[in-house]
Amino acid sequence: MATVEELKLRVRELENELIKCKQQQHNCAVEDAHSQALYRPKIDKMSAEVVDSNPYSRLMALKRMGIVDDYEKIRTFTVAVVGVGGVGSVTAEMLTRCGIGKLLLFDYDKVELANMNRLFFQPHQAGLSKVEAAEHTLRNINPDVSFETHNYNITTMDNFTHFMDRISHGGLEEGKPVDLILSCVDNFEARMAINTACNELGQIWMESGVSENAVSGHIQLIIPGETACFACAPPLVVAANIDEKTLKKDGVCAASLPTTMGVVAGILVQNVLKYLLKFGSVSYYLGYNAMQDFFPTMTMKPNPQCNDRYCRVQQEEYKKKEAEQPKVEVVQEEEEIVHENNEWGIELVSEVTDKELEAASGTVPDLPEGITVAYTIPAEDPVGGEIVEETERSLEDLMAQMKKM
């Protein structure tokens, strides 16, 4: 006997299928009837001419105004967006509208009706893979952009190998690496996987994130060997100044707001444009505290004892490169942490409230007001205990024993 809940679920599934069928029919009809009218032809060269048919005129105006030296250069860049959710989809749309050369999109998830509190995706796309749905929408917005999509989870063995291959060879000119990777994922494992890949390949990337309580976020530029990698310190969090006791996490994993995600996508792509087109100053770390409207910034040096071996290798490489640089009077970009005045009265709030964990805490790195670590790692081993003993037995033998239990 099916329960009411099961039947409700089934009804929802069928409704979704119906929507998709209708959409497909609609798309076919539309495509047949007015494909000419709906899709603009590709544009060979960006023009600054201000006519209503030129989608690039307002962007090219940046050049005329002297903000950007060479805006057309945007068409030569390739950016990989990993995670096409609340932040990644908006990020991809902004880059598409800006006329980026090529976008690689990675995501294993499907569009769900539960995602409709976020921007970009629409209800009729429910059930489609996010990368497929995104490519369709983005291609319509700007046919000048090249797209490459991968519908898989980058953290598993085979996919990770493929992911590494595509970021090192998937540039606009096949065989060349991508120019930048943007991490728009929502979990630690995927961030660490991107970090691993980028440290090994020496690939520059930007990390972004929105907290699970939806009221803070951050972006971070990571240049392997030169700035702290994602594994150099415990995850950084923007303190939202919320009393942990009043924060009820029972019953839900995560909240999300289209506003916070939109802001984070906005500051991420702003940083990308500044980095690629060389204007303004590029942020190394920019936090967003939505509760107090506070934006802490900082830069962080890599940790010489970082757990990631390739991070340490990249640090050595960077040091060598720096030593070889002729000693011109370089205005040394101060690596030291910028201490903002704490005019907002924001207190450092530890996200870890458990007394027991606090007792076993390690040292907190020197961070500016408003940024803290999600947790600390104590210097000595916290849990003592028995260690697995040496065994002569084979793996197959152990597997067989486990299976028989």
Partner 1 sequence: MADESARRAVSQIPLLKTHAGPRDRALWPQRLKEEYQSLIRSVEQNKHEDNDWFRLESNPDGTRWTGTCWFIHELLRYEFRLEFDIPVTYPDTAPEVAVPELDGKTAKMYRGGRICLTDHFKPLWARNAPRFGLAHLMALGLAPWLAVEIPDLISKGHVVHRERPREEAQ
Active-site annotation, residues: 253
Closer residue to partner 1 in complex, CB, 65/405: 405
Q: Note whether 359 and 337 are within 8 A (CB).
A: no
Q: Tell me the angle at which helices 88-98 and 258-277 cross, rounded to the nearest 10 degrees.
A: 40
Q: Note whether 97 and 142 are within 8 A (CB).
A: yes
Residue 234 touching partner 1 (CB under 8 A): yes
Q: Which of 37, 51, 252, 330 binds partner 1 (CB under 8 A)?
A: 252
What is the b/e burial string over 318-331, where b = at least 16 CB atoms within 10 angstroms of the residue's CB?
beeeeeeeeeeeee
Query: What are the tokens at 61?
Result: 């105006």
Burial of 105 by CB count in 10 Å (0-12 exposed, 13-18 middle, 19+ buried)? buried
Residues contacting 211, CB < 8 A, separation 6+: 217, 237, 238, 240
CB of 306 to Zn ion, least distance (A): 3
Closer residue to partner 1 in complex, CB, 280/378: 378
Indicate which of partner 1, Zn ion, none lies near residue 344 (CB less than 5 to 8 Å, by partner kind).
none
Q: Which of 103, 232, 272, 273 binds Zn ion (CB under 5 A)?
A: 232
Closer residue to Zn ion in complex, CB, 259/307: 307
Rg (CA), the chain: 24
CB of 361 to Zn ion, least distance (A): 21
* C-alpha angle 396-398-403 in degrees, rounded to nearest 5: 95
Closer residue to partner 1 in complex, CB, 234/266: 234
Residue 387 touching partner 1 (CB under 8 A): yes
Residues within the interface to Zn ion (CB under 5 A): 229, 231-232, 306, 308, 311
Residues within the interface to partner 1 (CB under 8 A): 3, 5, 9, 109, 112, 153, 155-157, 160, 187-189, 192-193, 196, 231, 234, 249, 251-254, 307, 351-352, 354, 356-357, 360, 374-378, 381-383, 385-389, 391, 393, 395, 398-399, 401-403, 405
